[in-house]
Homo-oligomer: A and B are copies of this chain.
Amino acid sequence: MSIYWNERIRNVEPYVPGEQPKEEGLIKLNTNENPYPPSPRALEAMRAALSGDMRLYPDPDAERLRGAVAAYYGVDPAEVFVGNGSDEVLALAFLAFFDRDKPVRFPDVTYSFYPVYANMFGVPYQLVELDSEFRLAADSFDGGQGGIVLANPNAPTGICVGLEQIDAWLAKHRDAVFVLDEAYVDFGGETAVPLVRKHPHLLVVQTLSKSRSLAGLRVGFAIGHRDLIEGLNRAKHSFNSYTLDRVALAGAEAALNDRDYFEQTRSRVIATRERTAAELRARGFRLTDSKANFLFASHPEYEADKLFRQLREKRVLVRYFAKPKIDGYLRISVGTDDQMDAFLAALDDIMRR
């Protein structure tokens, strides 16, 4: 605490990122990174960007990258915004679209950065209660609001809401922006991008950190009506005009263009997830129906926090949240088959005691 902090900074409870361990040799299944390296074409494009031209500013409008996103999704580049990871895109959305006089709604169990953004920018929020199966009801967002933020698939549950339900909510709640955070959609969800032309208040947010194996590059994007994109651009150019460096612009563009590699690696992650889920069920775990690159599992006879610590001792790092409703669960990122075998072996060791 300092006398020089303003009220906003004194009161905010900052986000706590998952542990990025400095030690070597850990099996790291705690921050939903992709176990496969980025596309070789993306690495090649990044290498090519590393010339003397690094002395020059990057394109502040990221035209080529926005073009690649637009081509991938069949939208117009004016309907695409790119930012420094989807976290920054989400922050700018809170900054541009939500007000201090009307509460934004999001589930009580979801990505823990949403309430942080809200507190940071003075936006009130209401938590929508998920049922005991972590599901939303059709009337979940009824009642006036200043916006909706929904992770689909949700984190840390991995549960997906169908597009029909999303469409129905969008039709019902037209008075404020609906931010759909699709960080994990490529692992089995269905993107709502096709609904963007129908609903001018829908902003779909995605990232290259997970399904494109580029967590280390910091690139995310949003797709929505051009007026929403213009709003995000106004926020960006009032904060930091050059958020993506030359390497990130080049690598992200190439990654989006390498569809074969993307399809291969995401299929492998999905296959490993399903195999690991079956193995966990065979060991008595209860799992949500995760469509993300992680599993969300609890065991009726083993305490999650204890399992977390015991796995850590065996050099397997998963994620445990000491929070109401989810403190009985572990979130396990999907690694390679070998990594998941090692995780299961460590678990067997622990459960055999």
Contacts and interface: CB of A to CB of B under 8 A. Distances in A.
A256 to B, nearest CB: 15
Interface stretch (A134-142, A245-253, A296-304, A344-352): A245-253
Contact of A95 (B8, B16, B31, B52): B8
B54 A96 contact: no
A137 to B, nearest CB: 26
B215 A56 contact: yes
Bin the interface of chain A by size: 35 or more
B239 A120 contact: yes
A172 interface: no
A263 to B, nearest CB: 17
A57 B15 contact: no
A152 B17 CA distance: 35
A274 interface: no
Counting chain B CB atoms within 10 Å of each CB, the highest count among A9, A15, A20, A34 belongs to A9
B216 A9 contact: no
Given A87-B240, A91-B240, A237-B14, A58 B216 contact: yes
A238 B57 contact: no
A53 B55 CA distance: 25
A107 B235 CA distance: 24
A4 B240 contact: no
A218 B234 contact: no
23 contacts: A4-B97, A4-B201, A5-B234, A6-B96, A12-B234, A12-B238, A14-B233, A14-B237, A15-B237, A17-B57, A17-B241, A33-B56, A36-B55, A43-B51, A47-B50, A53-B216, A54-B213, A84-B240, A85-B242, A87-B239, A116-B237, A217-B246, A218-B243
